[in-house]
Amino acid sequence: MTRTPNTHRPLIVKRQVCARIPTREGTFQLCLYENNRDDKEHLALVVGDVRGEGVLVRIHSECFTGDVLGSLRCDCGEQLHRAMELIAREGRGVIVYLRQEGRGIGLLDKLRAYNLQDQGYDTVEANLALGHQADERDYDIGVAILRDLGVRSVRLLTNNPAKIEALEASGMPVVQRVPVVAPIHAENQRYIETKVQRMHHLINLSHLHLNGEQRRHGTR
């Protein structure tokens, strides 16, 4: 479930500057955007000429713990770097980096949610217990950034069907979904299971259940 967009005034995004950023995955142009909807500086990592149709795109929401610290509690950092790798390999694409930490609840409440998760809540239950929706993200700014870059339709790197629906509702056609699956391990398994079971993400968990059966029977 995504937050209802603010429609009181027309959304305007403004590209302030772009600079070359060499990374382990490849060389990108990093563009910083300001907007009239919030006070956050949203970003776009761009490779090649992205004007036109069928551009490989990842809309990535900020995750300080996963993206910067490499936290194993989630799959965010893994997904970000996998998307960078795929786009760099293709030679054309965009990662829109939206500053909406913790599915839109902010870092403070995200850390509070972590404490609730350590008490047995799943990620959805923790957000609800703190008075939030399960997912409060808004993708309108991301779509506006894509339009500013000249993107007319996307091949979207995502496992989240709600993200596809949100982009199309904002007028950005999604011509293909490209899976972006990160490794699953003991620290993030329940998090990813919750994504699948509670938020309908398109991730195959069958191998997890198989591995569980093998462990119970002492086989590999």
Catalytic residues: 135, 137
Cα separation, 156 vs 145, in Å, equals: 15
**What is the C-alpha to C-alpha distance for residues 130 and 132, in angstroms, rounded to an integer?**
6
**C-alpha to C-alpha distance for 59 and 203, rounded to whole angstroms:** 17
The DSSP code for 59 is: E
| Contacts with 181 (C-beta within 8 Å, 6 or more apart), sequence order | 159, 203, 204
Closest by CA position to 35, among listed 55, 9, 61: 9
Bridge partners of 178, per DSSP, are 157
